[in-house]
Structure 1
Amino acid sequence: MTQLLQVEQLSAGYGDAVVLHDVSLSLAEGQTLALLGRNGVGKTTFMDTLAGATRQHVGRITLGGVALHSLPSHARAAAGIGWVPQERNIFKSLTVDENLTAVTRPGAWTPQRAYEMFPRLAERKGNLGTQLSGGEQQMLAVARALVLNPKLLLLDEPLEGLAPIIVEELLRAIARITREEGLSAIIVEQHPQAILAISHQAVVLDHGTVVHASDADTLRQDPELLDRLLGVSRH
């Protein structure tokens, strides 16, 4: 199986504050990684670091053989990163269609395919970002990342604060994008069982370090271990 992402001995944070310490992990092409942990343990910092939005102190990040850590943030989309941060970062003053066409890069994922994946967006093509519900904004954020035609999709808490019916819709779409379409992804989520069910690998962070790495099914089928890992606290 071909390795897509390789992270080696990564330390990073914001300014002089180091949040991640000596993090190493890898992800093969076509695989999904569930990145788990309690609040404030470094999950979002890890995603931000892949996208180039933090200060990297030590370590290497390679994506498809490209040295990602040496690229500025604006060049990482071209290198293959599709990032959906917690803030969603859609253009709220543009229509749904303008949001997609403004960032589209050549490849299999076109705005039309995104509309097929998210029919709600197709119905709201002419609506401004401000006229969308929170769930629709999240769908648009994912669709915007898809039309970049990335090699790796980063989803930072995509289900946060959404109504249960929207959570189910998004989970189905994410499962289709990753499992059926074969797009590699890293997903940070506070609903571990839901994400482990559609992931291949699992990594748990605590205090900015990796405390567990396994295949997702192993962790999902051991709720006692999962509870212990997500409740872990070292002082």
Structure 2
Amino acid sequence: MSELLKVEQLRAGYGEAVVLHDISFALGEGQTLALLGRNGTGKTTLINTLAGATRQHGGTIALGGRALHKLPSHERAAAGIGWVPQERNIFKSLTVHENLTAVQRPGRWTPERVYEMFPRLAERKGNLGTQLSGGEQQMLAMGRALVVNPRLLLLDEPLEGLAPIIVTELLRAISRITRHEGLSAIIVEQHPQAILAISDSAIVLDHGTVVHADAASTLRAAPELLDRLLGVAR
């Protein structure tokens, strides 16, 4: 398995405030990483930093051997970063189809493949972003990231605030994208067991540093350890 992403001694934050301290980890081609931790531990900041949306104070980020840490976010997208932020960032004044075609890059992921994965979007391709439910907006945000045809998909709490039936549908889609399509991914999620089940490895953040790294299967099989790392009282 070849290495896709390598992060070394990463320090980043917002303005002069440093949130992440000496973060180092690697991700192999076709692998999925679960990024866990309590609220406020730096998970979203790490995702945003990989996407180029924070201020980096030190360290390096390389994707497929190419240095990304000095590139702006649009050049990171062109280099292979697909980003689904918490805010989803769809174009609400455009239709579903226009959202997809506006950012599409050549590759195997096309709007038609997105519609096949998310039939709800196919039924609403002429609807504006403002006319979609929260779950449908999340599907569209994922579709927009996919049609960029990335090498690495960054998902920041993709299941947050969604109905159980939509959560099940999105988990199935994420599993297909990563397990069957072989797209590498980093997923931040507050439902650790759900994400660990479809991940290869996991890291846990606390106070902006990596406090634990393990195989996802190992953490999933050790709920007491997981609860302790996430500060959950039994």
TM-score, with length taken from structure 2: 0.98
Query: Which stretches in structure 2 are left out of the alignment for 5+ residues?
Result: none
Question: Is the partner of 1:70 in helix, strand or coil?
Answer: coil
Query: Which stretches in structure 1 are left out of the alignment for 5+ residues?
Result: none
Question: Is the partner of 1:121 in helix, strand or coil?
Answer: helix
2:39 aligned partner: 39
1:38-78 deviation digits (Å, cap 9, x = unpaired): 00000000000001000000100000111010111111100
1:66 aligned partner: 66
State how far apart, in whole Å, the 2-side matches of 1:215 and 1:116 are: 32
Letter paired with 1:27: L
State how far apart, in whole Å, the 1-side matches of 2:223 and 2:142 are: 29
1:188-212 deviation digits (Å, cap 9, x = unpaired): 0000000000000000000000000
Instruction: Note the 1:122-137 alignment, pairs <5 A.
Output: 122-137=122-137
2:110 aligned partner: 110
State how far apart, in whole Å, the 2-side matches of 1:74 and 1:116 are: 27
Q: CA deviation at 1:16?
A: 0.4
Instruction: Note the 1:18-33 alignment, pairs <5 A.
Output: 18-33=18-33
Question: Is the partner of 2:87 in helix, strand or coil?
Answer: coil
State how far apart, in whole Å, the 2-side matches of 1:32 and 1:44 are: 17
State how far apart, in whole Å, the 2-side matches of 1:205 and 1:9 are: 14
1:193 aligned partner: 193
Letter paired with 1:21: H
Letter paired with 2:224: E
Q: CA deviation at 1:101?
A: 0.3
1:182 aligned partner: 182
Question: Is the partner of 2:190 in helix, strand or coil?
Answer: coil
Query: RMSD between aligned alpha carbons?
Result: 0.6
Letter paired with 2:48: D
Instruction: Note the 1:61-210 alignment, pairs <5 A.
Output: 61-210=61-210
Letter paired with 1:191: H
Question: Is the partner of 1:41 in helix, strand or coil?
Answer: coil
Q: CA deviation at 1:96?
A: 0.2
Which shifted more, 69-78 or 197-206?
Answer: 69-78
Question: Is the partner of 1:167 in helix, strand or coil?
Answer: helix
State how far apart, in whole Å, the 2-side matches of 1:120 and 1:46 are: 31
Letter paired with 1:182: G
Question: Is the partner of 2:193 in helix, strand or coil?
Answer: helix
1:7 aligned partner: 7
Letter paired with 1:31: Q
1:76-134 deviation digits (Å, cap 9, x = unpaired): 10000000000000000000000000000000000000111111000000000000000
Which shifted more, 67-76 or 99-108?
Answer: 67-76
Letter paired with 1:197: A
TM-score, with length taken from structure 1: 0.98
Aligned residues: 232
State how far apart, in whole Å, the 1-side matches of 2:94 and 2:21 are: 39
- TM superposition outliers: structure 1 runs of 4+ over 2 Å: none
